[in-house]
Structure 1
Amino acid sequence: MKQGNRVVLGLCRLVIAVFLPLVLLISILQFYTFNIDFYLATYEKNNVQETTGMDIADLERVTIKLMDYLKDRENDLNIQANIRGENREVFGEREKLHMIDVKFLFLQAFSLRRWGLYLIAAAAVGMFLLSNSSRQEIYKSLLWSGLVPLVFALILLILMQIDFNKYFTHFHEIFFDNDLWQLDPEKEVLIQMVPLEFFTEISRKIFSWFLCIQLALSATAYGMLRSKKINA
């Protein structure tokens, strides 16, 4: 194989190794973020109806509005609901401003996933064009794409188990350049709907699924590579 082809093939492997875990993680994040059944289950578990003063029908309606806003299908979060017997605006100015920041992060993540899929597809095509053993190259890429993220996800799960609040705070300090995320659970409905317990559960589910899928991909790729060597 020519030196130039080797370099391109190495770049194709790198693209898959880097972007496949990102695409997978964002996809799992999207599944839980926009899963209304998951929200309703956590509302019941965390007694959110009593905390917010809203019935389950209003909670579901407000949640769907939030989801549509994050998907960029809604332009604002102006929504009325019956809260403790009073029909009023659900979210205050601080909550709305924070959700502008959250929406921006989600849209950036969706864009990253879309471009990641394009790059992975281009890398796979490149492997088929440049290598006579393209399947083996893809298996190698799958194997390497799983090793580092596996360790990363395992460490995160352990840290979340030790002190979730500490690392959740670090996350916000990294991704937000203001303190709008520090909402008052006594007054603001947004944090009453999704308290720390909600984020603890959704984070564990996301990284647990990520860990399991990456492990399955790596194990499958390793098994296929071993069988190729045995049959060679």
Structure 2
Amino acid sequence: MREKIIAIITSIIFAIFLISTTVKITLNFRPLYYFDIEYLKITEEVDMDKEEIKRNYDVLIDYLQPSYKGELEFPSLPMSEEGRIHFVDVKNIFIFFEYVMWITLFISFGGLIYLIIKNDYIVFKYTAIMLFAFPLILIIPFLINFNYVFTLFHKIAFTNDYWLFDPSTDPIILLLPERYFMHCALLMVVLVTIYSIILMLLYRYLIFRYVKRKGAE
């Protein structure tokens, strides 16, 4: 009973860790945006070429890194004070996920080591099931009304309405269309699904190896 409780708790923490890594991977997966510049025809929305758009985007992503300590200054775009405050808020969200990622890594690592020593591999199956449920829960509202989900997220995540950018004072919003964020969400869903499949395969392999070893004794 004790090991089952440890397995369930470890699975939850391990799942949170893996979901946190998808946030970090998605933030840093710049090829997705570079692809979207042409796919979403962003150059038609602003008087900028692809390279200039990439430079401004790269500055934003560099700024959002938890380790970055400087101020946000776009190479060729103005920014209002409200816009600056919003990006500080966004950066704080990524800092939060960074803390969550490292804390859950160390806690889940301890639980995994304990359970593996006990030859209790069910933790991988539990985690795989939790991760598989995560994209299912997300994908349905995304497909029904992504705009509503996107707006609801901002209302929950932020304590002000500075995320409602005016393109005349914060033209960066023209470089970040809503469909790009939908693609980011889909990337996270894909990553979580891959994690789930890998963990389920790992669970089956470990059980097979354990049964084979016990049969040889």
Partners of 1:25 and 1:90 lie apart in 2 by 34
The answer to whether the 8 A contact 2:128-2:200 is kept is yes
Contact 1:16 1:142 survives alignment (8 Å): no
CA contact (8 A) 1:26 1:109 kept: yes
Tell me the residue number matched to 1:78.
Answer: 73
Write the letter of the residue equivalent to 2:88: I
2:103 counterpart (111, 115, 123): 115
SS of the equivalent of 1:52 reads coil
Measured in 1, the distance between the counterparts of 2:125 and 2:135 equals 16
**Secondary structure in 2 aligned to 1:183?**
coil
1:64-213 map, 5 Å: 64-71=58-65, 72-81=67-76, 89-127=77-115, 131=118, 133=119, 137=120, 139-185=121-167, 188-213=170-195
Look up the equivalent residue of 2:131 and give its one-letter code.
P
Aligned counterpart for 1:52 among listed residues 46, 54, 68? 46
Deviation at 1:165, TM superposition (A): 0.8
Residues 15, 127 of structure 2: 8 Å contact kept: yes
Distance 1:215 1:125, change over 3 A: closer
**Secondary structure at the residue paired with 1:154?**
helix
**Offset at residue 22 of structure 1 (A):** 1.8
Pick aligned residue for 1:61 from 34, 51, 55: 55
For the structure 1 residues 221 and 125, does the alpha-carbon distance in structure 2 shift closer, same or farther, using more than 3 Å as the test? closer
State the 1:206 CA deviation.
Answer: 1.1
Residue of structure 1 aligned with 2:18, choices 18, 24, 27: 24
Give the drift of 1:28: 2.1
**RMSD between aligned residues:** 2.3
Q: Give 1:29's aligned amino acid.
A: V
Q: TM-score, normalised by structure 2?
A: 0.86
Kindly provide the amino acid, as one letter, of the partner of residue 28 in structure 1.
Answer: T
Conserved in 1, the CA contact under 8 Å of 2:56 and 2:74? yes
Alpha-carbon distance between aligned partners in 1 of 2:69 and 2:47, rounded to the nearest angstrom: 25
Aligned equivalents of 1:159, 1:186: Cα separation in 2:
31
Aligned residues with identical type, % of pairs: 20
Match for 1:114: what amino acid?
W
Deviations 1:106-161 (A, max 9, x none): 001011101111112211233356x3x2xxx1x20011112133123112112201
Say which SS state the counterpart of residue 177 (structure 1) adopts.
coil
Q: 2:30 pairs with 36, 42, 55, which one?
A: 36
Going from structure 1 to structure 2, the CA distance change for 1:146 and 1:119 (only over 3 Å counts) comes to same
Runs of 4+ in 1 over 4 A off after TM superposition: 226-232
Given that 1:95 and 1:188 are in contact with CA atoms closer than 8 Å, whether structure 2 keeps it comes out as yes
| TM-score, normalisation: structure 1 | 0.81
Name the SS of the counterpart of 1:80 in structure 2.
coil
* Structure 1: 5+ residue stretches without partners: 1-5, 82-88
